[in-house]
Amino acid sequence: MRSIGLICGSLEPNRNGVGDYSRRLAQALNTLGESTIILALADPYVETPTEELQDGIMVLRLPEKLTKGERKAHLTSWLDTNQPRQLILQYVPFAYHYKGLPWTTLSQLKKSIGSIPLHWMCHETWCGLGRECKLKERLLGIAQQALLRHFIKGAKSVCTSIPYYRTLLSKIIATPVHLLPIYSNIPLRAPISDKTIADYRLNLASKSSAEDLFILLFGRIAADFPADEFLLTLDKMLKQAGLRAYILSAGQIDRGEGAWEAFQSAPTEQIEYLRLGELSSDNIDKLIQAVDFGLATTPLESIGKSSTSIAILERGKPVIAHGSSDTIGIAPELFPSGQILQLKDLNSQLFRDPPSFPVKNLTPHVAQQLLKILAS
């Protein structure tokens, strides 16, 4: 059986979210009886072309610094050797070019694949979409939009993860755009006991009490997150309820530790901050099970493309988000009403008895949905 080939930028484990996503997707497709391979087209973590087995998937990693001719030769060889029956491009503009304008790479790909059907999964679209964006970013966005319009018109199918991106893409292409959810890159483990949770929380914060709330900030802190306004409002609500909270930061902060220092500088009285750093996937799973809420700094309308928020939601925990509107950027059937919250939804009763929701593993659902799209 000829394989399905996935193409992404980098496959360095735990260093590239789309690479981790691609690897888990390949595993899920294999579980459904498919054969998969992955190509990393511009991997900054390898110096030479590297073929290796990752979690049972054969992958080829091409260095970011290859010359145009070298990249084309390796791409052609990979296609000739494996002869995939379909290809899925995991598209993030900056994954294939440091300025987010991968004209050369996409041109090479288009010429090399010949008649092999190419499907696009757009994890991002283009820059300059926010009102606060500077002129330079808006101009880059115009160029990125032109690039995307040029190359995506030949796609066999197009997918994206949130309704907002589907609306944007539908304006530049005639091909129907499918909504394909993001899933967590953290595998689900067995539930832990209430006693284990209580001990774990006490180990995290030795002065905590059973009534204290634990809120998890997993991963990046978005540059446009209104930290002071958000945290001071949350602090006021906690004070009115007579409760304290610990906000725990886990994982990489892609803008550096200074972003965490700025985040926790709000003059709050009821909130303490703990930086846990990078943790193994096992420990992240345990941590999510032990907290009461997740905190998303990604805007509400984009929450569906945050794999860290999805990791918390999949484990049945509510997530507090912020947004300029009430639009929730995720397919409504994925999670129950009330699991994604805004500050205005919070109250003393919710704090005193944090809700829990059914655990849901999205990965098999996404893989099955993708196969239907590939077959259509």
Kindly report the number of other CB atoms within 10 A of residue 31's CB atom: 11
Tell me the sheet residues that pair with 25. Answer: none
Each residue of 21-53: pLDDT tens digit?
999 999 999 999 999 999 999 999 999 999 999
Return the percent helix, strand and coil in the chain, to nearest 5: 40, 20, 40
Give pLDDT, residue 368.
97
The whole-number pLDDT of residue 14 equals: 86
C-alpha 17/C-alpha 135 separation (Å) is 28
Q: What is the CA radius of gyration of the chain?
A: 22
Retrieve residue 34's tokens.
Answer: 């498919």
Burial of 123 (0-12, 13-18, 19+ CB in 10 A): buried
pLDDT the model gives residue 255: 64
Q: Does residue 224 carry a pLDDT above 70?
A: yes
What domains are there in the chain, each with its CATH number? 4-183+365-375 (3.40.50.2000), 194-352 (3.40.50.2000)
Q: Mean pLDDT for the chain?
A: 93
| Average pLDDT value for residue range 343-348 | 88
Reported as half-sphere exposure (CB side, CA atoms, 13 A), residue 152 has a value of: 28
Rounded to whole angstroms, the Cα distance separating 64 from 8 reads 12
Q: Structure pTM?
A: 0.91
> How would residue 206 be classed by pLDDT, with cut points 50, 70 and 90?
confident
Average pLDDT over residues 242-246: 94
pLDDT digits (tens, 9 = 90+) for 255-294: 667 778 888 888 899 999 999 998 999 999 999 999 999 9
Region 313-331: mean pLDDT is: 90
| Identity of the residue numbered 226 | P
Q: How far apart are CA 82 and CA 41, in angstroms?
A: 16
Nearest in space to 320 (alpha carbons), one of 298, 295, 339: 295
Sheet hosting strand 36-43, strand order edge to edge: 50-54, 57-63, 36-43, 4-8, 86-91, 118-122, 157-160, 177-179
> Whole-angstrom Cα distance, residue 183 to residue 365?
9
Least confident of 97-111, 307-321, 340-354: 340-354
Question: Which residue type sits at 243?
Answer: L
pLDDT for the residue 343: 87
253: left (phi over 0), alpha (psi -120 to 50) or beta: beta
Match 């888990």 to its residue by tokens.
24
Q: How much is the pLDDT for 256?
A: 60
| pLDDT at residue 5, rounded to an integer | 98
